[in-house]
Structure 1
C-alpha cells in the first residue's frame, strides 16, 4: 500500500510555503501585485537568486501568478492566485502572533545567538 505524500496538513503547507522567504513573499503579495524590484525591496535581505528561485517554485505550485507584459524594458508583475490568497489568509494569524510577541522572540533569538557564538557554532 503506498504511503500518503504528507504526514499531515501542516506537512503539505510546509511543502509549498516552507523556508525563510516564501511566507514573507506571500505576506507582501497579499497586500497587492508587485513588480520584481518592488517585491525585492519589500522582502528585505533576500538575494536575487533566492527570490527568483522561490518565485519560480511558487508559480509552479500555483500560489503566485506571473504576468510578463513583453515590454522593453521588461515589465513583470507577481500576484497571489486564489490558492495563494487562501494561504495568506491562513498565515495572517501567525503575523498577528509575531507582532504581539516580537520583543520576546527577539530576546530569545538574541540569547540563542549568543549561546551559539560562545559554543563556537
Structure 2
C-alpha cells in the first residue's frame, strides 16, 4: 500500500487490519510531527507479513524501544531516512530478517555496538549530522 506524500499527520489504525499487507510506504508525510507517533504505531505488530516499510521523510525524532520490538519479524526492508532520529536502539537486532535498513540523512552519530554482528544487513547511513 502506497500512501506517500499526501500530508498524513496521524496514524490510521485501519492500516493495521490489513494483516496480509507486505508493503507499506508512508514516506514524505508528517507522521512524526505528533509526539504520539510511536505509541500510535505499535499496532504494526499485527502486520505479520510485512516485508517493506518506508517512513522516509516523516519528521520522526525518535523510535522507541517498544516500537522497535513491535515491528514485524518478517520485515526485510526498513527506510527511516530523512528524519530527525539521533540514535538507534540496540532493539534493532530484534528484526532477524532485516536485510536493508536505511537511516541516511538523520542525526545519528553512531550505531549500536550489536549492529556489527548483523553482517547480512545493509545500513546506508550517509549524511548524518549531530
TM-score computed with the length of structure 2 as normaliser: 0.22
Q: Relative contact order (alpha carbons < 8 A, sep ≥ 6): 1 or 2 greater?
A: 1
If each structure's helix is expressed as a fraction of its own residues, which one has the higher value? 1
Larger radius of gyration: 1
